[in-house]
């Protein structure tokens, strides 16, 4: 197989792909309440300060701090009680020397007051008088105008994937719509003469299409829109014509090859005919997934995945997911979270090749263990039994039982 003579490292392969992509996904304006998980198309600035008025941070009495100076249990200050500030309303009086008023957490401070003393540090003397048992500093227990965000401040950068906190933050600012990047459209083509749709009864030699559906789910989970182009037989003209249609209609095209070598060669040939520059990478030094193809045709990414369903999911997680995030302009550069665990058995590996091993997590009193789920040929149900993946870096010749490893969970988002 001449295509494998020079294998790229996974990192090289992804970079070669990303740097040649030339399409730009446009944005759309949607309601903020439906924007969870979407990626901002532009930086968002605050239209006004938050809080937009001085608010009490506690239940207490709004005062002039200077009127409390020196107050203590043994020498209280006595302030005249002007009334109560109702929640959500503007105070109808101001606070002058030796005056105070009751204010609740979140309530608006009246003009003249500059601090709040907590209820617990006061004592009611009468309907009109309060004993102040401690002094407060100016601004104490007060949220000042703009203390959360100032007017015009950048609150969410472009390329940010919106979480529940951001949805809330946008609403706090009255921003009930938001500009987000449109969901990239990802065309998925399955090839292989042995593949039939899942609703069809199997006859000898046939297997059901797995990849179209597992990949659609992964694409959906990454924030893109999967479009399935069905199962295409291992015939150049047919595959060529479907692939051209998909490239025209989608922002990214994924072709999973049939499992045979000839089917994989066919995929590469078809991709090369789709447009320039064509295949950039054919063969990645990784297991599973060596026959992976990375291409850019007419500016759009085209990825050829191995037909084996486990390889297809693992390789899609490592290459398709970051490519979709790239199209989304997502700036998420934070490390992926993991679970540290102790390996139960030795895992041999070949230097120069990066391995990804499905593992199950076993929790015992002695700690958390990663138990590799080896299977002869990456059968799909070895992956459904797995909690996550452990990688063996290319420089390593393998990992020993007892080694501490990072498990990256396979899960929705």
- With beta carbons less than 8 A apart as the criterion, state whether 303 and 277 touch: no
73: phi > 0 → left, psi -120 to 50 → alpha, else beta; which? alpha
Which of residues 86 and 299 has its CB atom nearest to a copy of itself in the complex?
A: 86
Query: Cα(99)–Cα(195) distance, rounded to whole angstroms?
Result: 83
What is the smallest separation between the CB atom of 118 and a copy of itself, expressed in angstroms? Answer: 11
> Mask 327-356, x = binds a copy of itself (CB under 8 A)?
------xxxxxxxx----------------
Q: Considering just the CA atoms, what is the radius of gyration of the chain in Å?
A: 31
Q: How far is the CB of 229 from a copy of itself (least distance, A)?
A: 15
Those residues with Cβ within 8 angstroms of residue 88's Cβ, 6 or more apart along the chain or in another chain: none
DSSP state of 86: -
Structure tokens at 146: 């703009």
Give the nearer residue to a copy of itself in terms of CB position, either 98 or 154. Answer: 154
Where does 91-188 have alpha helices with state H?
164-172
Residues 269-328, interacting with a copy of itself (CB under 8 A): 307, 309, 313
Dihedrals phi, psi of 389, to nearest 5 degrees: -120, 145
Beta-strand relationship, 286-287 and 300-305: unpaired
User: By CB under 8 A, is residue 246 in contact with a copy of itself?
Assistant: no
70 binds a copy of itself (CB under 8 A): no
Distance CA 137, CA 115 (A): 7
Residues between 224 and 243 that touch a copy of itself (CB under 8 A): 234
- Listed ranges 6-14, 88-96, 181-189, 342-350: which one lies at the site for a copy of itself (CB under 8 A): 88-96
Q: Any contact of residue 262 with a copy of itself (CB under 8 A)?
A: yes
CB 406 within 8 A of CB 390: yes
**Judged by CB, which is closer to a copy of itself: 35, or 279?**
35
Cβ(68)–Cβ(52) under 8 Å?
no
Cβ-based neighbour number of residue 27 at 10 Å: 17
Contact region for a copy of itself (CB under 8 A) — 31-39, 238-246, 268-276, 323-331? 31-39
Tell the residue number behind the tokens 């740097």, with chain if given.
19
Q: Which of 121, 256, 259, 396 is the binder for a copy of itself (CB under 8 A)?
A: 259
Residue with tokens 């990645």: 284
How many residues at the interface with a copy of itself, by CB under 8 A? 108
Task: Give min distance, CB of 344 to a copy of itself, in A.
Answer: 16
- The answer to whether the CB of 314 falls within 8 A of the CB of 256 is no
Question: What gap in Å lies between CA 352 and CA 357, rounded to an integer?
Answer: 16
Q: Which of 367, 372, 363 is nearest to 400 (CA)?
A: 372
171 is a site residue for a copy of itself (CB under 8 A): yes
What is the C-alpha to C-alpha distance for residues 234 and 229, in angstroms, rounded to an integer? 14
Task: Give least dist CB 406 to a copy of itself, A.
Answer: 9
* Closer residue to a copy of itself in complex, CB, 48/326: 48
Question: Does 263 contact a copy of itself by CB under 8 A?
Answer: yes
**Number of C-alpha atoms within 13 angstroms, CB side, residue 375?**
18
356-395 residues near a copy of itself, rule: CB under 8 A: 361, 363, 368, 375-377, 379-384, 386-387
Question: Nearer Cβ to a copy of itself, position 124 or 176?
Answer: 176
The distance of closest approach from Cβ of residue 70 to a copy of itself in the complex, given in angstroms and rounded to an integer, is 25
Ranges within 173-192 binding a copy of itself (CB under 8 A): 173-176, 192
Residue 225 in tokens: 């829109």
Of the candidates 208, 273, 287, 290, which one interacts with a copy of itself according to CB under 8 A? 208
Residue 45 as a binder of a copy of itself (CB under 8 A): the answer is no
50 touching a copy of itself, by CB under 8 A: yes
For residue 333, the tally of other CB atoms under 10 A from its CB is 6
Q: Under the criterion CB under 8 A, does residue 149 sit at the interface with a copy of itself?
A: yes
Give the residue, chosen from 10, 51, 159, 301, that forms a contact with a copy of itself under the rule CB under 8 A. 51
Give the binding range for a copy of itself (CB under 8 A) out of 11-19, 72-80, 254-262, 281-289. Answer: 254-262
Pairing of strands 60-63, 115-118: antiparallel
Distance (Å, rounded) from C-alpha 70 to C-alpha 134? 7
| Sole binder of a copy of itself in the list 23, 98, 125, 207 (CB under 8 A) | 207
Under the criterion CB under 8 A, does residue 2 sit at the interface with a copy of itself? no
Residue 135 or 222: the one with the smaller Cβ distance to a copy of itself is 222
Nearer CB in complex with a copy of itself: 223/301: 223
């Amino acid at each position: 197989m001449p295509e494998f003579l020079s294998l790229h490292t996974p990192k090289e392969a992804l970079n070669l792909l990303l740097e040649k992509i030339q399409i730009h996904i446009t944005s759309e304006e949607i309601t903020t309440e439906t924007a969870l998980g979407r990626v901002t198309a532009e930086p968002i600035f605050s239209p006004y300060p938050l809080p937009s008025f001085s608010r009490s941070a506690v239940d207490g009495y709004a005062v002039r701090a200077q009127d409390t100076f020196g107050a203590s249990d043994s020498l209280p200050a006595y302030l005249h009680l002007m009334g109560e500030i109702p929640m959500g309303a503007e105070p109808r009086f101001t606070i002058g020397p030796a005056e105070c008023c009751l204010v609740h957490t979140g309530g608006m401070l009246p003009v003249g007051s500059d601090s709040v003393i907590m209820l617990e540090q006061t004592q009611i003397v009468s309907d009109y008088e309060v004993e102040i048992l401690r002094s407060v500093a100016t601004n104490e227990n007060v949220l000042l105008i703009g203390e959360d965000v100032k007017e015009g401040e950048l609150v969410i950068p472009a390329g940010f994937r919106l979480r529940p906190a951001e949805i809330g933050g946008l609403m706090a600012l009255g921003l009930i719509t938001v500009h987000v990047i449109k969901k990239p459209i990802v065309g998925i083509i399955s090839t292989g003469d042995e593949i039939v749709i899942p609703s069809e009864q199997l006859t000898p030699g046939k297997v059901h299409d797995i990849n179209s559906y597992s990949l659609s789910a992964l694409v959906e989970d990454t924030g893109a829109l999967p479009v399935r182009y069905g199962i295409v037989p291992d015939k150049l003209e047919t595959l060529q014509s479907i692939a051209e249609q998909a490239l025209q209609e989608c922002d990214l095209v994924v072709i999973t090859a049939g499992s045979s070598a000839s089917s994989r060669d066919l995929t590469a040939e078809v991709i090369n005919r789709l447009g320039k520059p064509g295949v950039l990478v054919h063969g990645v030094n990784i297991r599973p997934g060596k026959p992976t193809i990375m291409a850019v045709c007419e500016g759009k990414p085209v990825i050829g995945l191995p037909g084996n369903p486990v390889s297809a999911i693992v390789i899609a997680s490592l290459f398709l997911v970051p490519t979709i995030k790239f199209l989304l302009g997502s700036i998420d550069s934070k490390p992926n979270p993991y679970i540290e665990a102790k390996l139960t058995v030795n895992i041999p590996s070949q230097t120069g090749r990066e391995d990804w091993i499905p593992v199950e997590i076993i929790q015992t009193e002695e700690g958390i263990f990663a138990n590799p789920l080896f299977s002869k040929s990456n059968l799909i149900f070895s992956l459904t039994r797995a909690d996550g993946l452990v990688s063996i870096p290319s420089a390593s010749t393998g990992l020993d039982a007892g080694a501490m490893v990072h498990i990256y969970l396979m899960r929705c988002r």
